[in-house]
Amino acid sequence: MKKKQQVELDEAYARKLQEEINQDIDWEVAMDHVKQKAKEEPFIQRYQVMKKRPQTEAQARRNMIYGRRIKQSNCTHQSDSSTESSKEEKVD
């Protein structure tokens, strides 16, 4: 009985502490701080600039080749699985 009462008291105390923590935090100020910090960091600024740069011809070519390879592997995988299933049907 004592353990159950102690657990209930601990839970109530934890809820009270959590409410106090949530009341103390002004989330808009916290988000403004995070955004400002992100603007200050040089490596984050470089990353943002890299995202905005257009692809070079070589990068576009590599992406197209990669896309073709993936498409071909998916097509061969699907055709292999369909031929295997048709073989299994014929065996039965």
What pLDDT sits at residue 40?
75
Give residue 45's domain range: 2-25+37-80
Domain assignment present for 32? no
Is-above-0.75 flag for pTM? no
- For residue 91, being part of any structural domain is answered with no
Tell me which residue has tokens 């960091």. 41
**Cα atoms found within 13 Å of the Cα of residue 13, Cβ hemisphere only:** 6
Banded model confidence at residue 32, pLDDT cuts 50, 70, 90: confident
39 within 8 A of 45, measured Cβ to Cβ? yes
Is 90 within a domain? Answer: no
Query: What are the φ/ψ torsions at residue 53 (nearest 5 degrees)?
Result: -70, 140
Residue 14 banded pLDDT, cuts 50, 70, 90: very high
Total domains, the chain: 1
The reply to whether 47 falls in a domain is yes
Residue 23 pLDDT level (bands cut at 50, 70, 90): confident
Residue 60 within a domain: yes
Token pair 């299994």: residue: 88
